[in-house]
Copies of this chain bind each other. A is one copy, B any other.
Amino acid sequence: LGKIRSKSQLVNQDLKKFLNTKEGRMVAALVREFLIHFNLDYSLAVFDPETNIGEKYEGRDALARELNILESDDSSRLPLLAEVVKRMSSSGAKGRSL
């Protein structure tokens, strides 16, 4: 754990900067919610100290609100990222000409 902390303090200025933006916090929270959703406990045990986002994470409900996602029975069975990607794909198909 000590090794993880000292490495992340050295090289992760980029991540630190990113996590100081609203967008960055939402991204990291989406990743964390994905790990929690699928019980990826080992990944989470490393992810939290390596990113330091654990303490800023306010839970799925708060994150869904920030993303303007109204949860349905369907969406609540999957990580929020699934809903995000679903919307991204459908808006891509509708909104953009390629």
Contacts and interface: CB of A to CB of B under 8 A. Distances in A.
A84 B30 CA distance: 11
Q: Which 3 A-B pairs have the closest CB atoms?
A: A68-B92, A15-B38, A43-B47
28 contacts: A7-B42, A12-B39, A12-B40, A15-B38, A24-B82, A26-B85, A26-B89, A27-B34, A27-B79, A30-B85, A31-B31, A31-B34, A31-B81, A40-B47, A40-B51, A42-B46, A42-B50, A43-B43, A43-B47, A43-B51, A47-B47, A67-B89, A68-B88, A68-B93, A68-B96, A68-B98, A84-B85, A87-B91
Interface of A: 4, 7, 11-12, 14-15, 18, 23-24, 26-27, 30-31, 34-35, 38-40, 42-43, 45-47, 50-51, 67-68, 78-79, 81-82, 84-89, 91-93, 95-96, 98
